Amino acid sequence: MSKLYISKEADKILTDYLEEQGHVLERIESEGIVDPAISCHPDVFLCKMGIQENAPVFSASSGDLGMDYPQDCAFNAACTGKYFIHNLRATNERLLLAAKEMGIIPIDVRQGYTKCSTVIVDETSIITYDEGIAKACGSYADLDVLLISPGFVRLDGYDTGFIGGCSGRVGREIIFNGDLFAHPDFSRILPFIESRGLTCRWFADYKLTDIGSIL
């Protein structure tokens, strides 16, 4: 049994599945801190420092975040456990210090919404639509990056959501909130994940929807 952080607006099909697997869900919600469209997104308020179930999770304190970019993305880093990927100029100082103390390698990118933009598959494998993230991470010999098409993810209040924000690694499974099969790069995403010895789960009942990751 593990504790997972998830948006209070996550689809019941997803939350039922997670609870059936024995996970305890902590539902995230807020008001008046960040844009209402992302006010329930775990990856806005929390940063998990790796893929392990017992990896430390750091949470934003009062005053750490703001309504506008880049104040709203200070905790939205993508941390694989080996690599800490974020716009380091926007990163909260406590996260930077924690990454340094844990020996995690920092990678500076232009994208502040890094976790939203990134599916963390394992310590050295990620999926992203963001060319800047792909280029920066691709310069590390042992970091495998699958670059996919942008879009095809719903986020109410915005033109599009992000692939990282509709997913999360839970144990040995990468779970997608919605119908991954409908994504044009499904035939590339699935083998990329399975070749790492992981399984993939998605839900055909509704469109891929950005809920701020499953952490």
Please name each of the domains of the chain with its CATH number.
3-201 (3.75.10)
For residues 129 and 151, give the distance between their C-alpha atoms in angstroms, rounded to a whole number: 8
For residue 91, how many C-alpha atoms fall within 13 Å in the half-sphere facing its CB? 27
Q: 67 to each of 73, 161, 168, how far by Cα in Å?
A: 10, 18, 25
Q: What pTM value is reported for the model?
A: 0.97
Average pLDDT over residues 101-120: 98
Average pLDDT over residues 12-34: 97
Chain length of the chain: 215
Average pLDDT over residues 163-187: 98
Q: pLDDT of 27-71, one tens digit each?
A: 999 999 999 999 999 999 999 999 998 999 999 998 999 999 999
Task: Encode burial over 91-104: b for 16+ CB neighbours within 10 A, e otherwise.
Answer: bbebbbebbeeeeb
pLDDT, residue 86, reads 98
Query: Pairing state of beta strands 144-147 and 24-28?
Result: unpaired
Average pLDDT over residues 84-103: 98
User: Is a pLDDT exceeding 90 seen at residue 157?
Assistant: no
For residues 33 and 97, give the distance between their C-alpha atoms in angstroms, rounded to a whole number: 24
CA Rg value for the chain: 16
Average pLDDT over residues 90-115: 98
CA angle (29, 84, 107) in 5-degree steps? 130
User: Is a pLDDT exceeding 90 seen at residue 24?
Assistant: yes
Closest CA to 49 of 74, 85, 23, 2: 85
Indicate the residue type of 52. Answer: Q
pLDDT, residue 37, reads 95
User: Is a pLDDT exceeding 70 seen at residue 162?
Assistant: yes
Ranges 117-126, 130-139, 151-160: which has the least confidence: 151-160
For the chain, give the percent of residues with pLDDT over 90.
96
Read off the pLDDT band of 1 (50, 70, 90): low
- Which DSSP state fits 91? S
Tokens of 116: 């939203």
25-31 long-range contacts (CB < 8 A, ≥24 apart) are: 28/212
